[in-house]
Chains A and B, each alone.
Chain A
Amino acid sequence: MSKESFDYTEQYKKFYEAWEKTMSEAMDMWRKNPLVKNEGKAETDDYDPVAQYKKFYDTWEKSSSEVLEKWVNSPLFAANIGKAVEKSSEFKKYFDEAVEKTLKNMRFPTKSDTDRLLSSINNLEAKINDLVDKVDDLNKPRSRSRSSKK
């Protein structure tokens, strides 16, 4: 969805319509509530408050999902969240560099030092695996590999 084709007015209208629909259905349910109808002991034996609440919840869930999913799929949201991530990345980089410089000046081992060491160990392991494979290849009998199992 390009920024140019995203119609904010249309999307706001849809958001308003969803909100209005939810509120109307909630008001309808409230109007049908025997207490509000003031029918005394009118048919409340089978009145299920949980079912009524569930209807309201289902309506709310459906319209909120639609609205929020449209929002997170909007270019404006994507641009804003991207900006927030970018700024947090800049701050983190600045902060990490400051910590690293401080630790280096105090002659403490830093994270980069540990990472380099671990990386060397991983490279050694890879080299050993390659050597093991070469030895296995050399030890393989020259005949064909074993036939199918089934």
Chain B
Amino acid sequence: MSTNYLDNAMKEAEKARGKFNKAIELALIDPPDVEVGATPHEVIFTENKLKLLHYHPVVKKTYPVPLIMIFALVNRPYILDLKPGRSVVEVLLSKGIDVYLIDWGSPGDEDKHLDLNHYVNRYIKKVINKVKSDSGSDEVSVLGYCMGGTMSAMYSALYPDDIKNLVLMTAGIDFKVDGTLNLWGNKPNFDVDKFIEAYGNVPPEFLQSGFLFMKPIQNLVSKYVNFYENVDNEAFVENFLAMEKWLNDNIPVAGEVFREFVKYLYQENQLVEGNLMINGKRVDLNNITCSVLNLIAEHDHLVPPASSLIFEELISSKDKKTIVHPTGHIGLSVSSKSLKGLWPGVADWLIERSQ
């Protein structure tokens, strides 16, 4: 038997044992504290679980039209401000944009009746009025991410005069496209009425396991193998732990709004068909006339690019642009490729329209 082969194998085994111990210690035994959402801000409005955050400007004078960031209902919004150097909020603030963010909070069981009408016509409307009052500006820009983008589009269609600039990030518009969630949420496969009647709010574990099983090997094996291989890289470990904190920080979704999303959007595609009604008023995307920037993640497996691409065709805006960036759904906000290569351009687009 070759001793060199055995020597090599033993050396590698010893190295591996050290790395493995370090990985276990970092991940399970003594995980370091990870600070997320650390950009200084103040809460200027609350209602129920909703908080409206205003980030402290980092320049002497900000541009007059403030930006409101509206995230999805299924996760915490600090993905947009994950950590210093991995923060969309930071990039926008450094460019002089006045940034506000809606933190939807975590719905309790008493919130299971909150529907699209409440989120769009009550919460978003209230927030926009608060931002106008706080900033002194009669106009606002809105940036909607994922479900927040879909709701932002709905709001812009219902109140076209309220919005000056609309930025959508991986917003689902057309739900009759090929995609895992579209398949799973289809009528014969998912009885959403029975589900909501039983559970009230959607449990975070339900959504979490759904997202994990969309790419099972990647999410349950490869990710941790990659972590093990890079455990000696401090910067990698910091980013990994921050991402893991967010990925495991799922929140429940209010039952009624989830039912409406699945039924009216995923199953009946009412937004594109033009027959979505919110509080008796039809949501007609053709009413949108503001400047629109549609950001799409090329490798998005949660919201297929085809779901967002159609948006430009449905609106009446003259000033509209679509950017397809080569990242995934979450990468659009946290990858260094996006933060260096995309967001400064987005900020410039907003600034040009915020004079």
Which residues of A pack against B, CB within 8 Å? 1, 34-35, 40-42, 44-45, 47-50, 57, 61, 64-65, 68-69, 72-73, 75, 78-79, 81-82, 85-86, 88-90, 92-93, 96, 111, 114-119, 122, 125-126, 129, 133, 136, 145-146, 148-150
B2 near A85: Cβ-Cβ < 8 Å: no
Instruction: From A49, A68, A78, A145, give the contact of B186 (CB < 8 A).
Output: A78
A73-B183 contact given A61-B221, A93-B197, CB 8 Å threshold: yes
A48 near B8 with CB under 8 A, answer yes
Given A1-B178, A86-B194, A145-B138, residue A122 in contact with residue B48 (CB < 8 A): yes
Smallest beta-carbon distance A3→chain B, Å: 9
Q: Which of B5, B16, B63, B96 contacts A35 (CB 8 A)?
A: B5
Contact A64 B197 (CB under 8 A): no
Q: How far is the CA of A82 from the CA of B213 in the complex (A)?
A: 14
SS of B interface (majority): helix
Using a CB–CB cutoff of 8 Å, the interface residues on chain B facing chain A are 1-5, 8-9, 12, 16, 47-48, 61-64, 96, 98, 108-113, 122, 126, 129, 133, 136-138, 178, 180, 183-184, 186, 188-191, 194-195, 197-199, 213-218, 221-222, 225, 355
Given contacts A34-B5, A78-B183, contact A57 B194 (CB under 8 A): no
CB of B133 within 8 A of CB of A136, answer: yes
A64 to B217, Cβ gap below 8 A? yes
Please give me the residue from chain B that is nearest to A80 by CB atom: B189
Q: List 26 A-B contacts (CB under 8 A).
A: A1-B178, A34-B2, A44-B4, A61-B222, A65-B217, A65-B218, A68-B216, A69-B214, A69-B217, A72-B180, A72-B214, A82-B188, A85-B191, A89-B194, A89-B199, A90-B198, A114-B109, A115-B112, A118-B110, A119-B111, A122-B111, A125-B47, A129-B47, A129-B126, A149-B136, A150-B96
Q: How many contacts between A and B, using CB within 8 angstroms?
A: 132
Besides A1-B178, A93-B198, 5 new A-B residue pairs in contact (Cβ under 8 A), listed by A number: A49-B9, A65-B215, A65-B217, A116-B110, A125-B47
Q: Check A150–B2 contact: CB distance below 8 A.
A: no
A85 neighbours in B (Cβ, 8 Å) = 190-191, 195
**CB-defined contacts of B2 to chain A, threshold 8 Å:** 34-35, 40-42, 44
Q: Which residues of A contact B186 (CB under 8 A)?
A: 78
Complex CA distance for A150 and B137, rounded to whole angstroms: 12
B194 CB contact (under 8 Å) in A45, A90, A114, A129: A90
Which residue of chain B is the closest to A121 with respect to CB atoms? B110
Contacts of A129 in B (CB 8 A): 47, 126
With the chains together, A56 CA to B98 CA distance in Å?
51
Taking CB atoms, residues of chain B closer than 8 Å to A64 are 217
**Is A122 within 8 A of B63, CB to CB?**
no
* Cα separation A149 to B63 with both chains bound (whole Å): 7
Q: B189 contacts A79, CB within 8 Å?
A: yes
Top 5 A-B residue pairs of the complex, sorted by shortest distance between their CB atoms: A82-B189, A148-B64, A118-B110, A89-B198, A93-B198
A149 and B64 form a contact (CB under 8 A): yes
Q: What CA separation (Å) do A119 and B107 show in the bound complex?
A: 11
Given A82-B190, A146-B136, A149-B62, is A72 in contact with B108 using a C-beta cutoff of 8 Å? Answer: no
In the bound complex, what is the Cα–Cα distance between A73 and B195 (angstroms)? 21
Residues of B within 8 A of A68 (CB): 216-217
